[in-house]
Structure 1
Amino acid sequence: MRIGLTGGIASGKSTVARMLAERGALLVDADQVAREVVLPGEKALEAIASAFGQAVLEADGSLNRKALGDIVFRDKAKLARLEAITHPAIRERMQHRIHSYEERHPDRLVVADIPLLYETKQQHLYDGVMVVYVPSDLQRARLMERNEIPAEEAERRISLQMDIEEKRRLADWVIDNGGTLAETEKQIDLFWKSQRLP
């Protein structure tokens, strides 16, 4: 079985991913794959340099993330252009890795950790979607503490994603991460048993 794991920013998705992995799930992390596809020698990096110029490259040929960020985060059209390059590359590599896991370990749960799963309309690629949920006020407080940012900036970042209540409504499984770690562990155990996972 393959599931998509998502949630809001600062909802504790990484914690839930770790708990699933500790029980034997195989993880494919979209953020990690996103870093891989822009390494020197990768087609996506060549396409980024072609689209945005050599200024987005370091002297050693690696991606200058700050320079690229300065270009795309001020201009929605340029951000869309970047995403048109990176998203297909990320998706293709993730699907390849998932297929590889499924062939080698057909009895294991494969979890694809994708922050923007609903926003990028990938839910149909999975047998179900697990959403890590926290109420929005707790989400904001955690984000402010984790990133050391003011409330307005936390609100802005949260607003860039689909509303957490909407994700919760669409989910096949909801893990409420608003309580203690022990309470979250308990929900993961219940999920694991309900799916009869080894």
Structure 2
Amino acid sequence: MLAPVTRASRRLALALLLVSAACLPSGELVAIDGSHRMVARDPQSGLSVVLTTGAWQGIPSDLDEQVTVIHVLVANLGNRSIRLAPGDIDLIDERGFRRDLLDAGGSFVQAGQNDNGYHPGRQLDFGRIEWVGGDVASSALPWGVLVPGTSMRGYVYFEKVDRANAATLTWHFHDRDSRPVVDLTFDLYVARGSQT
């Protein structure tokens, strides 16, 4: 005969569940060799992208414990203007779960051009990150059109990748007229510190 479920046993089970969840390591994204910096280049389009993980030094200082933070440098050394848009970046873990990009809403325009807002990209299923105070919005990668011979840098934010072992970040680059240019892909792994 089974013992009846009491309120105390439910509380104990819930407490054990919470403690075990707190003990799971969250980890951080790195390259296959454990480095925090990854580079992808496409000689045909002239695009270069440098991703750096573990680089957040802004306010709030614990932002990277709450969301996945990646510093990005995009250089356009080609001859076509390239669209930078939040809907053009995918972060998908090895189980197939897509992590939403959390758009901070920053944008830029070429001097002398009208600001009509930025193109959202090829898909609209990205979230927003709104943080009062701190460096989240001011440090974010701004969206717009990157003309030849220029570069742009900033942070991109995603839903936390903490329950997976690996993920792939794919940036689907398009020109200013929404024509596909190149997909640059980064294989990322979750490095977890030793548990004590």
TM-score, normalised by the number of residues in structure 2: 0.24
Greater per-residue strand proportion: 2
Report 1 or 2 for greater relative contact order, CA contacts < 8 Å, sequence distance ≥ 6. 1
